[in-house]
Structure 1
Amino acid sequence: MIKLLGGLSVYFKYQPIRTDNAVFRLHNVFTTVLLLTCSMIITATQYVGNPIQCIVSGLPVNVVNTFCWITSTFTMPDAFAREVGKEVAHPGVGNEYDGSQEKKYYTYYQWVCFVLFFQAIMCYTPKFLWDAFEGGLLKTIVMGLNIGVCHQDEKEKKKDVLIEYLIRHKRTHKLYAFRYWGCELLCLVNIVLQLWMMDAFFNGEFFSYGTRVLGYSEVPQEERYDPMIYIFPRITKCTFHKFGASGSIQTHDSLCILPLNIVNEKTYIFLWFWYIILAVVLALLVIYRLVIIFVPSVRPRLLHARSRTLAMETAVLVSHRSDIGDWWLLYMLARNIDPLIYRELICELAKRTGEKEGARA
Structure 2
Amino acid sequence: MFKLLGGLSVYFKYQPVKTDNAVFRLHNVFTTVLLLTCSVIITATQYVGQPIQCIVGGGLPANVVNTFCWITSTFTMPDAFAREAGKEVAHPGVMNEYDSSQEKKYYTYYQWVCFVLFFQAIMCYTPKYLWDAFEGGLLRTIVMGLNIGVCHAEEKEKKKEVIINYLIRHERTHKLYALRYWGCELLCLINIVLQLWMMDAFFNGEFFSYGTRVLGYSEVPQEERYDPMIYVFPRVTKCTFHKYGASGTIQTHDSLCILPLNIVNEKTYIFLWFWYIILAIILVLLVIYRLIIIFVPTVRPRLLHARARTIAMEAAVLVSQRTDVGDWWLLYMLARNMDPLIYRELISELIKRMGEKSGARA
Kept in 1, the 8 Å contact 2:77–2:100? The answer is no
Residue 21 of structure 1 is matched in structure 2 by: 21
Alpha-carbon shift at residue 102 of structure 1 (Å) = 1.4
Unpaired segments of 5 or more residues in structure 1?
none
The whole-number CA distance in structure 1 between the counterparts of 2:177 and 2:97 is 64
Instruction: Percent identity, please.
Output: 89
Aligned 1:198-237 pairs, distance under 5 A: 198-237=199-238
Aligned 1:70-85 pairs, distance under 5 A: 70-85=71-86
Alpha-carbon shift at residue 101 of structure 1 (Å) = 4.8
Unpaired segments of 5 or more residues in structure 2?
none
Residue 321 of structure 1 is matched in structure 2 by: 322
Tell me the secondary structure at the aligned position of residue 54 of structure 1. Answer: strand
The whole-number CA distance in structure 1 between the counterparts of 2:72 and 2:99 is 22
Query: Residues 260-306 of structure 1: CA distance to partner in whole angstroms, max 9, x if unpaired?
Result: 00000000000000000000000000000000000000000000000
Alpha-carbon shift at residue 164 of structure 1 (Å) = 0.2
Alpha-carbon shift at residue 355 of structure 1 (Å) = 1.0
The whole-number CA distance in structure 2 between the counterparts of 1:166 and 1:16 is 22
The whole-number CA distance in structure 2 between the counterparts of 1:136 and 1:6 is 27
Query: Residues 202-233 of structure 1: CA distance to partner in whole angstroms, max 9, x if unpaired?
Result: 00000000000000000011100000000000
Question: One-letter code of the match for 1:126?
Answer: P
The whole-number CA distance in structure 2 between the counterparts of 1:41 and 1:2 is 11
Tell me the secondary structure at the aligned position of residue 74 of structure 1. Answer: strand
Tell me the secondary structure at the aligned position of residue 81 of structure 2. Answer: helix
Deviating 4+ runs (over 2 angstroms): 96-101
Closer, same or farther: CA 57–281 of 1 in aligned 2, 3 Å: same
The whole-number CA distance in structure 2 between the counterparts of 1:356 and 1:201 is 60
* Paired positions, count: 361
Residue 130 of structure 1 is matched in structure 2 by: 131
Alpha-carbon shift at residue 98 of structure 1 (Å) = 7.6
Alpha-carbon shift at residue 96 of structure 1 (Å) = 2.6
Aligned 1:81-230 pairs, distance under 5 A: 81-97=82-98, 101-230=102-231
Residue 56 of structure 2 is matched in structure 1 by: 56
Tell me the secondary structure at the aligned position of residue 108 of structure 1. Answer: coil
The whole-number CA distance in structure 1 between the counterparts of 2:42 and 2:241 is 26
Closer, same or farther: CA 249–29 of 1 in aligned 2, 3 Å: same
Alpha-carbon shift at residue 56 of structure 1 (Å) = 1.0
The whole-number CA distance in structure 2 between the counterparts of 1:28 and 1:353 is 37
The whole-number CA distance in structure 1 between the counterparts of 2:205 and 2:100 is 25
Kept in 1, the 8 Å contact 2:79–2:100? The answer is no
Residue 357 of structure 1 is matched in structure 2 by: 358
Calculate the aligned-residue CA RMSD, in Å.
0.9
Closer, same or farther: CA 101–324 of 1 in aligned 2, 3 Å: closer
Alpha-carbon shift at residue 29 of structure 1 (Å) = 0.2
Question: One-letter code of the match for 1:288?
Answer: Y
Kept in 1, the 8 Å contact 2:77–2:97? The answer is no
The whole-number CA distance in structure 2 between the counterparts of 1:149 and 1:26 is 31
Question: One-letter code of the match for 1:192?
Answer: V
Query: Residues 21-46 of structure 1: CA distance to partner in whole angstroms, max 9, x if unpaired?
Result: 00000000000000000000000000
Tell me the secondary structure at the aligned position of residue 81 of structure 1. Answer: coil
Residue 305 of structure 2 is matched in structure 1 by: 304
The whole-number CA distance in structure 2 between the counterparts of 1:44 and 1:148 is 47
Question: One-letter code of the match for 1:104?
Answer: K
Moved more, 351-360 or 198-207: 351-360
The whole-number CA distance in structure 1 between the counterparts of 2:78 and 2:163 is 67
With normalisation by structure 1, the TM-score equals: 0.99
Tell me the secondary structure at the aligned position of residue 207 of structure 1. Answer: coil
Question: One-letter code of the match for 1:346?
Answer: I
Alpha-carbon shift at residue 356 of structure 1 (Å) = 1.1
Tell me the secondary structure at the aligned position of residue 97 of structure 2. Answer: coil
The whole-number CA distance in structure 1 between the counterparts of 2:169 and 2:102 is 76
